[in-house]
Structure 1
Amino acid sequence: MTLATEPRLTDPDGFYAALMEAHRGLDDASSRRLDAALVLLLANQIGDAAVLLEAIRLAREAVAPAQAAPGARG
C-alpha cells in the first residue's frame, strides 16, 4: 500500500469544521491531546507502518522543509 496524497474527502470543508468544533473550548494541552488521540486512531485504522512513516515524512516536510546539510552551499 502506498500513501494516497490526492484529495479523497467528499466534504473537506465539513471535515475541517468538525475538527475545529472538536477543539472548541479546549486549552492548548487538551487540544494537543485531542490531535494526538486522533492521529493514533487514524494510524491504527491505516495499520501499515510504511504508509504511516511516509505520512510522517511528508507532514514534517510540509511544516519544516529539510534544512541544508552543514557546510552545504546554497
Structure 2
Amino acid sequence: MDHLITTPHLDAPDDFYEALIDAHRGLDSAQSQALNARLVLLLANHIGSLAVLREALHAARDSA
C-alpha cells in the first residue's frame, strides 16, 4: 500500500539540507529554480506512485 510518509524518515536530515544548499550555491534564481524542478522530477520518478505524489502535492499545497 502506497502512502506518503509524513513522519521523520530521513537518515541524516541536516546532511541532506547542507547538500541541498551546496547544490544551489553560485546559481542565479533561474538556475536555482531549474535545479529544483529537475530534483522534483527525479524524486517523483524514484517514488513512482502517482497516488503518493498526489498526496505530496496536496500536503505541500495545504502548508503553503
Q: TM-score, normalised by structure 2?
A: 0.95
Give the deviation of 1:59 after TM superposition: 0.4
Number of aligned residues: 63
1:13-63 Cα offsets, whole Å, 9 max, x none, are 000000000000000000000000000000000000011011001001111
Aligned position for 1:68: none
| 1:31 is aligned to 2:32 | yes
Q: State the identity as a percent.
A: 57
Give the number of the structure whose alpha-carbon radius of gyration is greater.
1
RMSD of aligned C-alpha atoms? 0.5
Runs of 4+ in 1 over 2 A off after TM superposition: none
User: Structure 2 unaligned runs (5+)?
Assistant: none
User: Structure 1 unaligned runs (5+)?
Assistant: 64-74
